[in-house]
Amino acid sequence: MVPVEHILYLAALLLTAGLAIVIVKRNAIMVLLGIELMLNASNLNLIAFNRLQADKIDGQMFSLFVIVVAVCEAAVGLAIVLRVYKMYQTSVPDEVSELKD
C-alpha cells in the first residue's frame, strides 16, 4: 500500500497551491476556488490518517462535515460576490475600497 507520507506530500502541495491562488488572483471567484482547494487538502490529510487505524471511521466522518462546511462557504461566498458585483460593478476585491479613507 502507498505510505502515508506520499498522501501528506500531495496534501501539502494542494494546500500551498490554494494559498498561492488566494494571494495572487485578483478575482473573488478565483479566491473562492483557492479556498476550496485548501479545504480539500485538509480532507486528504484526514483520510490519510484514517488509514492508520482502519477499524475506526472518525476521520471519514470528520471529512464529511468539512465537505458540508465547504459547501455552505461556497454558496454564501458566491452570493456575497454577486451582491458586491451588483453594487460596485466589479468582482475584484481590491477595488471595493470604500472604507479605505
Partner 1 sequence: MSLTNIMFYFFALVAALSAISMIFVKNVFYGALLLIVCLLSVAGIYVLSFAEFVAVVQIIIYAGGILVVIIFGIMLTSRMAGKPLLVQHGNWFPGLLVSGVMFVLLITLLSQQSFMQPSLPPQPEKQIGNIGVGLMTDFVLPFEIAGVLLLAALIGASVVASTMKSNRE
Residues numbered 13-52 forming contacts with partner 1, rule: CB under 8 A: 13-21, 23-27, 29-30, 32-34, 36-37, 40, 43-44, 47-48, 50-52
Q: CA 60, CA 49: separation in Å to the nearest integer?
A: 10
Q: CA 65, CA 63: separation in Å to the nearest integer?
A: 5
Structural Rg of the chain based on CA atoms: 17
Q: What is the smallest separation between the CB atom of 97 and partner 1, expressed in angstroms?
A: 14
Q: Residues in contact with partner 1, total (CB under 8 A)? A: 71
Considering only 61, 96, 97, 100, the residue that binds partner 1 (CB under 8 A) is 61
Instruction: Work out whether 88 is an interface residue with partner 1 (CB under 8 A).
Output: no
- Pseudo-torsion of CA 32, 35, 39, 45, nearest 10°? 150
Considering only 42, 68, 97, 100, the residue that binds partner 1 (CB under 8 A) is 68
Nearer to partner 1, 81 or 99 (CB): 81
Instruction: Work out whether 65 is an interface residue with partner 1 (CB under 8 A).
Output: yes
Q: CA 12, CA 97: separation in Å to the nearest integer?
A: 33
Q: What is the smallest separation between the CB atom of 39 and partner 1, expressed in angstroms?
A: 10
Residue with cell 484514517: 50
